[in-house]
Amino acid sequence: MPPAPSSRPLHAAGAVLSTERPPFRDTAPTRTARQTSRAAPRRPPVERAGWEPHHHEGGRVGDSPLRICVIGDELTAGMGDARGLGWVGRVIARTPTEEPAFVAQLAVPHENTTELSARWETETQRRFTPMADNRLVLGLGATDLEEGLSLARSRLNLANILDGASSNRIACFVVGPPPRTDLDADALAALSDAFADVCHRRHIHYVETFAPLRAHEQWHADVAASDGVHPGQAGYGLLAWLVLHNGWHSWLGLPEAG
């Protein structure tokens, strides 16, 4: 019998997030078809009806109150999800801590990395405090490709954000862009690889979402049933699974997802 979940859920911008039971199922990791110099990310399984997630007792993250800012494009806000949770809400629901944490979702639709690099510091400074354990999550999309930004510019923009955060002692966690059928797949793969390289050079967690979902039938079916670009509930569940099983808990100093 699994242990009872923590009675103190995380908070998002002052409101308690739902402790929703995610629709994904934990399975063993699978190697992806596209090999890179880094370890392949774990591939999310197909959704199974009736699965109940395991819960574990969380602990206070360090000695300071936890503040997390999640910044990115419309995927960060869960656009297309009828439940309004997106991947962020599903991840937070699976992140129990003894003390309440402040979680702010700071999304701007169709934002490229140049625009993101120009606003991240101002946005987060208003929410972080010197006495808190301040953490920054970047949800990167594919707008750079749509607007013709070069890989060099995309790399530089991300590097500037990460280096700026590091200089302010803000720990970062980066989630890469998922597949899109309306964009060139090889170009999107190259963009994700570029983002990953920037992160790995700085020893920063990077969650690869493109490779595991590139040929994932449920992902593509869910996007097709939506607007052809954004996922629905199942797709956001898959993104959340990838985040939870690729370093999220260790980044926060919590036990890994069961």
Average pLDDT over residues 3-31: 39
Q: Per-residue pLDDT for 30 more than 80?
A: no
- Measured distance CA(199)–CA(214) in Å, rounded: 21
**DSSP state string for 174-227:** EEPPPP-TTS-HHHHHHHHHHHHHHHHHTT-EEE--HHHHTT-HHHHHHHHHTT
The mean of the pLDDT values for the chain is 82
Residue 243: the pLDDT is 98
| Structure-model confidence comparison of residues 224 and 12, the more confident one | 224
What the block records as the tokens of 125 is: 């400074």
Is the domain 61-252 a CATH 3.40.50.1110 member? yes
Q: Per-residue pLDDT for 49 more than 50?
A: no
Please give the C-alpha separations between residue 170 and each of 5, 76, 77, 132, 161, in angstroms, as whole numbers: 28, 19, 22, 10, 11
Residue 7: the pLDDT is 38
Q: Under a CB-based contact definition with an 8 Å cutoff, are residues 180 and 110 in contact?
A: no
Contacts by residues 187-193 (CB-CB < 8 Å, ≥ 24 positions apart): 187/145, 188/142, 188/145, 189/34, 189/214, 190/151, 191/142, 191/144, 191/145, 191/151, 191/154, 193/36
Position 255 confidence tier, pLDDT thresholds 50, 70, 90? confident
What the block records as the tokens of 192 is: 């994700």
Q: Summarize pLDDT for 74-103 with one digit per residue, the tens.
A: 999 999 999 999 999 999 999 987 777 899
Q: Per-residue pLDDT for 151 more than 70?
A: yes
Q: Which helix (H) or strand (E) holds 102?
A: strand 102-107
What residue spans define the domains of the chain? 61-252
Q: CB burial class (10 A; 0-12, 13-18, 19+) of residue 157?
A: buried
Residue 15: the pLDDT is 35
